Amino acid sequence: MPVIAHPPLACGAMDPKGADAFLEEMLDRLRLARLLKFKPLFGQLMDKSLWFAHWPAIQNVSGQPSIALPVHVTDAGLPLGIQAAGRPGDEETLLSLAAQMEKISGWLTRRAPLQVPGMKAGRFHLT
């Protein structure tokens, strides 16, 4: 099954904004995070999370072992993966599958380009 339900998002895209950010900040500062146990608040946060990555949640809840395997790279260089789930207590089969996939896929030689903030074409730019 897929690991994520949508193409990868930019860093920070799922960070709380506006009223959500304010609510989380206040609950944290007032040490009231336990209020997130209330279904409406918790449900709103879970809806956002499950919209993006609902398949891994199934294994998290069921306790089934699973492993994410990077099997494709988009034109933009972003990895896309699949998740394999195994029988309870059978992590060995998943690790064997991952080792076989690694061997035939070329993962070890595939590297993302290094991008350092403030650096272009190998030179540092001071701002």
Is the confidence at residue 47, as pLDDT, over 80? no
- What pLDDT, on a 0 to 100 scale, did the predictor assign at position 40? 63
What would the pLDDT profile of 89-111 be if each residue is shown by its tens digit?
999 999 999 999 888 887 777 76
Residue 52 shares a structural domain with residue 70: no
In a domain, 119, yes or no: no
Element (H, E) at 84: strand 79-85
In a domain, 83, yes or no: yes
Among the residue ranges 5-9, 70-74, 79-83, the one predicted with the least confidence is 5-9
CB contact burial 38-60 (16+ within 10 A = b; e otherwise):
eeeeeeeeeeeeeeebebbeebe
Cα 37 from Cα 62, distance rounded (Å): 20
Among 41, 56, 71, the domain-final residue is 56
In a domain, 95, yes or no: yes
Residue 36 shares a structural domain with residue 71: no
Block residue for tokens 């609510």? 23
In the structure, what pLDDT confidence band is assigned to residue 85 with cuts at 50, 70 and 90? very high
Cα 66 from Cα 88, distance rounded (Å): 10
Listed in sequence order, the residues at least 6 apart from 78 whose beta carbon sits closer than 8 Å to its beta carbon are 7, 8
Higher pLDDT, 87 or 39: 87
Enclosing domain of residue 75: 63-107
* pTM, rounded to two decimals: 0.56
Mean pLDDT of 54-66: 82
